Structure 1
Amino acid sequence: MTTTSTSDDLVSARLRSTGYPAWRAQVEATGGCAAPIHLRGASAVLDRDGAILLERSGDVLAPCGNRRESVCPACSQRYAADAFHLLRAGLAGDDTKGVPATVTDRPRAFLTLTAPSFGPVHARKVTHRGFVVPCRCAERHHVDDPRIGTAIDPDTYDYVGAVLWQAHAGALWARFTTCLRRALAAELGIRAREFRDHARLSYAKVAEYQRRGLVHFHAIIRLDGPDGPADPAPAGLDHTTLRAAITRAATAAVLTVARPDGTALDLAWGAQLDLRAVTPSAAGQVENDQGEMTDAALAGYIAKYATKGTGATDGADRPIRDLDHVQYLEVTPHHRRMIETVWHLGGLDQYDELNLRRWAHMLGFRGHFLTKSQRYSTTFRALRADRRAWRLRAELDALDTATDDPDRIPIDLDTVTVINDWVPVHFGHRDDGERELAAAVAERHQQQRRSKIDTRRAAS
């Protein structure tokens, strides 16, 4: 029996099973999660007097919540949607998320900070007329050539420097924001320590892996007054001064760390700095004729990066427990060399605090893919809480509709208590048949979302 026929048989058997309708309903509720968490237990909703309004018991499925598209397309789509709303609120304002619409008047910028060079890599460059420029290896690479981004000469490529830069990328960003505050304080003619009394630097950033295995950061930066988004930026700081300060800060930000042999290694950003102004617009394009980013599309442009993995392999989306595991990963020799370097450095006492081996599957990157300053916008936790409240509201409304009393007062969410008592039983789908059916559900949900987006764009 072939693998295909076995999978078809499993799908057919699941479709005919007596428990299929209930299972299908739970899979639909997760959006077609690829690796759901099976929970067993009970929950109840009580009113202020302790009377049970709703109760549920038995087995349920909960989504895995993994943000990586390569691991779970369904949950990554939900994460990307949350990221979009979080980013958009900080750009265009949203009173329901605690950000006034007046933030569109603030000085704002979109920038991309890249990693420096650690040695020549295979590259594919195309002229404005569409001609492919020869690589330094003298070849003209096809767009799908797996060598793109890998070291031309692995023996001279600085893998140690690349991994140490990657491991400190988050700290380098923190140094950049410190330098930016100092540069802005200088524009105001005040001391750096006084900056927080005059203005607040708000930002959101997303990390994206380049094909060479190093991250670069896409970031939205907004200048507010000292009290946050409702407070206007001080006079003397505008779009022009913000962009000039960002340029100076990107150059000034440097961290010095030690190589394994004790020599100093200066960590800085790459020479390529993409810096754009952000303008309010309802247009569908990402940028206007002046190359400025429009806030209507910028949030979606950035949010998509939040669901990506390393770009090296699907297998490396999970932690590596042993160096022997690396030989079984379907990665390029370049990415394998990076993983091995992370593992080696992680075994040295001088890098204990970096806990590098834990991040070998991330090629040494230890940060979160999406981070933001405290007052930039709402939070993922708040968005998830809103979603739970919406579902509870729908259940209580259905309960009200089912009652015969026309004078019944709708139940106030603030007067109910939700009690959950669930424990995980196991994880994932039981066979390829369930996985295939769940993937079909996820694909249909994604198509429905795309259709809604296209409809909204056509109407705008």
Structure 2
Amino acid sequence: MTSSTLALAPETTTVSGTGAYADADTGYWPWAAPTTGPRDLAADGWVRGHDPRTVASGRARAQDPDYPDWLGHVRAAAACKHPIRLAGQIHVNDTDGNRMATIDTEDMPDGAIYTPCGNRRASVCPSCAEVYRRDTFHLIKAGLQGDRWGLPPLHEHIAIFLTATAPSFGPVHHRVVKVHAADCRRKDGCTCRASVCHPFGRTCPHGVELRCGQRHKAGDTQLGQPLCLDCYDHAGQVVWNHEAPELWRRTIQQADRELRRLGRAHGVELRRRYIKVYEFQVRGVIHYHALIRLDGEHPDCPGTIVPPPAVITRQMFAEAVGTAFVKTAYTSAPHPANDGQGWRIAWGDKGLDIKHVNAPGGEVNLAQITGYIAKYVTKSTEVTGLNLRRVDDLSVEIHGNPRTHLGRLIRACWDLGEHPDYNRLRRWAHQFGYGGHITTKSRAFSVTLGFIRHQRTIWRRTEGHPHTWDDEQTERVIYELGYQATGWISTGDALLANTAAALARARHQAGLDALADELAARTTAGQPAAA
């Protein structure tokens, strides 16, 4: 189920582009702009407050005799902000390979097939990002709970949740709440009283006093900004971002060595499985959130997922992983900008934050950790205040402002990227040098996102009856489709499609609520719930 980004009651915002034939392209979703001049509000009805061009295109589409067919045709991408339009032919063959029918997109509404963009970032497409988040949620849940999709029950497996951060590259404005209120539920963006930022500090060689007596509030624009731009090691930070995937690879290899030593000491075989996501801090550097599960090994079937031996405790597992993070460090490739030497790549010296999952009396349970990790897959660099698609020779002059912290990070990526060993820094300058995937995992931790998407495809094509699916059907349908355009043809189409998706979702939720109320009433009356 997708998530609508368009309110049922139209609001007054700005118009966003919808593709090559958009009515306007001046802002952001939900494609509604304040009108100018007198208008007949009563005549506008449900589109009151929208731009006249949106109203005109929406009315034209709704008055078309084929409007019901069009609405059903775009249903799969109705909530998407930038749907992809595909054109071509679809061939249907029989079991012997003989062609039975050919469907041309020219005979379809708008002459194209609408499919969601599938972008994971909520700032680009909230609807598709919500689908990505939910898929990740179920992937992680299956890796912790098991007993679905061919995975065995995993309740006896021990697991830890850790957060690995980067080292300091210079003092920045920060917000630390040492004691939260009793009713505080948001530990990262609460309104509790924060500590003084930097109560003590010296004067740097550039004449800047490295102290701040403020108690920053959540969302303060100063958070993450260096106390002195010239003292801050921008080059070291972008290189660390660049090397973070390699640092993680070496760390997880070291963790395997520590687990082998632990296993030999107790005469058992151990295997680790993990999933991790990255998150950008306000200062523009990433840190990892990882969930590591400990498995045993069956002597007769090495690929089987079995619980770890009871002799291995949670504390032993946590100590072995923590030791790997402390030991792992290396020097990057040399660079002329660093006097011909490389940078030391290691984890931060503030220690590794490790929490046990589903431990008796522990802080983290399965539901909390699954939702916590899944929410990060829809985020990118928005927390830093800058969200770019790509940096090139022209845009680097605009975004690489030397008077700002983020501008210096982008400029550092561009300048250091001239070296052949660091050319990927330019490729990922819009992410301050980091080019890793948002989510990585061990093969045996859980199923894949592709598997979950395939299951959703089966559910949709069988209209909720997956047991009727035949894998041979995929061999009988041949798609010859090509890219036509991106976005809705008009802002009116976007308004109608997204509103229809929101109404359908509201009806579905109302049905679930009514069913829950009925079951609750029967239970209260003493009747069996299944009656």
Band the TM-score falls in, shorter-chain normalisation: 0.7 to 0.9
Distance 1:301 1:4, change over 3 A: same
Distance 1:364 1:437, change over 3 A: farther
Contact 2:197 2:214 in 1 (8 A): yes
User: Does residue 414 of the first structure (1) align with residue 462 of the second (2)?
Assistant: no
Alignment of 1:3-18 (within 5 A): 3-5=33-35, 8-16=51-59, 17=61, 18=64
- 1:342 alignment partner, one of 407, 410, 413: 413
- 2:372 alignment partner, one of 298, 301, 305: 301
Partner of residue 79, structure 2: 32
Paired residue secondary structure (1:246): helix
Contact 1:14 1:433 in 2 (8 A): yes
Aligned length: 433
Contact 1:71 1:314 in 2 (8 A): no
After the TM superposition, which of the residue ranges 368-377 and 268-277 deviates more from structure 2? Answer: 268-277
Partner of residue 371, structure 1: 440
- After superposition, give the CA deviation of every residue in 1:109-165 in whole Å (9 maximum; x if it has no partner): 111111111000111222316432221222222222111011111100010110010
Distance 1:456 1:135, change over 3 A: farther
Alignment of 1:164-243 (within 5 A): 164-189=239-264, 198-226=269-297, 227-228=302-303, 230-234=305-309, 236-243=311-318
Identity %: 35
User: Does residue 134 of the first structure (1) align with residue 196 of the second (2)?
Assistant: yes
Partner of residue 283, structure 1: none
Paired residue secondary structure (2:34): helix
Structure 1: distance between partners of 2:81 and 2:469: 35
Contact 1:312 1:335 in 2 (8 A): no
Question: Deviation of residue 244 (structure 1)?
Answer: 0.7
Distance 1:338 1:159, change over 3 A: same
Contact 1:202 1:222 in 2 (8 A): yes
Computed over aligned residues only, the root mean square deviation of the Cα atoms, in angstroms, reads 3.6
- 2:381 alignment partner, one of 285, 310, 318: 310
Partner of residue 362, structure 2: 290
> Unaligned 5+ residue runs, structure 1?
281-287, 398-408
User: Does residue 77 of the first structure (1) align with residue 130 of the second (2)?
Assistant: yes
Question: Which amino acid counterpart does residue 426 of structure 2 have in structure 1?
Answer: R
Question: Which amino acid counterpart does residue 476 of structure 2 have in structure 1?
Answer: T
After the TM superposition, which of the residue ranges 4-13 and 236-245 deviates more from structure 2? Answer: 4-13
Question: Which amino acid counterpart does residue 333 of structure 1 have in structure 2?
Answer: T
More strand by share: 1
Question: Deviation of residue 311 (structure 1)?
Answer: 2.2
Partner of residue 160, structure 1: 235
Contact 1:126 1:133 in 2 (8 A): yes
Partner of residue 274, structure 1: 353
Structure 2: distance between partners of 1:167 and 1:248: 23
Structure 2: distance between partners of 1:230 and 1:42: 44
Question: Deviation of residue 13 (structure 1)?
Answer: 2.2
Distance 1:313 1:135, change over 3 A: closer
Partner of residue 21, structure 2: none
> Unaligned 5+ residue runs, structure 2?
1-23, 25-31, 37-49, 106-111, 182-191, 199-211, 521-531
- 1:89 alignment partner, one of 131, 142, 148: 142
Structure 2: distance between partners of 1:188 and 1:436: 60
Structure 2: distance between partners of 1:237 and 1:140: 45
After the TM superposition, which of the residue ranges 258-267 and 56-65 deviates more from structure 2? Answer: 258-267
Paired residue secondary structure (1:39): strand
User: Does residue 358 of the first structure (1) align with residue 427 of the second (2)?
Assistant: yes
- 1:146 alignment partner, one of 205, 218, 221: 221
With the length of structure 2 as denominator, give the TM-score of the two structures. Answer: 0.73
Alignment of 1:45-60 (within 5 A): 45-50=92-97, 56-58=103-105, 59-60=112-113
- After superposition, give the CA deviation of every residue in 1:9-47 in whole Å (9 maximum; x if it has no partner): 233223222264444334431251111111012224444
- After superposition, give the CA deviation of every residue in 1:143-191 in whole Å (9 maximum; x if it has no partner): 2211101111110001011001000111111111111111112212379
Contact 1:47 1:53 in 2 (8 A): yes
Alignment of 1:311-326 (within 5 A): 311-312=382-383, 316-325=387-396
Paired residue secondary structure (1:174): helix
After the TM superposition, which of the residue ranges 266-275 and 76-85 deviates more from structure 2? Answer: 266-275
Structure 2: distance between partners of 1:342 and 1:423: 36
User: Does residue 109 of the first structure (1) align with residue 152 of the second (2)?
Assistant: no
Paired residue secondary structure (1:371): strand
Paired residue secondary structure (2:216): coil
Task: Please identify the structure whose Cα radius of gyration is greater.
Answer: 2
Partner of residue 151, structure 2: 99
Question: Which amino acid counterpart does residue 88 of structure 1 have in structure 2?
Answer: K
Contact 1:200 1:225 in 2 (8 A): yes
Paired residue secondary structure (2:481): strand
Paired residue secondary structure (2:245): helix
With the length of structure 1 as denominator, give the TM-score of the two structures. Answer: 0.83
Question: Which amino acid counterpart does residue 73 of structure 1 have in structure 2?
Answer: P
Question: Deviation of residue 199 (structure 1)?
Answer: 2.6
Question: Which amino acid counterpart does residue 312 of structure 2 have in structure 1?
Answer: L
After the TM superposition, which of the residue ranges 218-227 and 114-123 deviates more from structure 2? Answer: 218-227
Structure 2: distance between partners of 1:174 and 1:155: 32
More helix by share: 1
Distance 1:326 1:53, change over 3 A: farther
Contact 1:44 1:56 in 2 (8 A): yes
Structure 1: distance between partners of 2:237 and 2:82: 33
Contact 1:315 1:329 in 2 (8 A): no
Question: Deviation of residue 337 (structure 1)?
Answer: 1.5
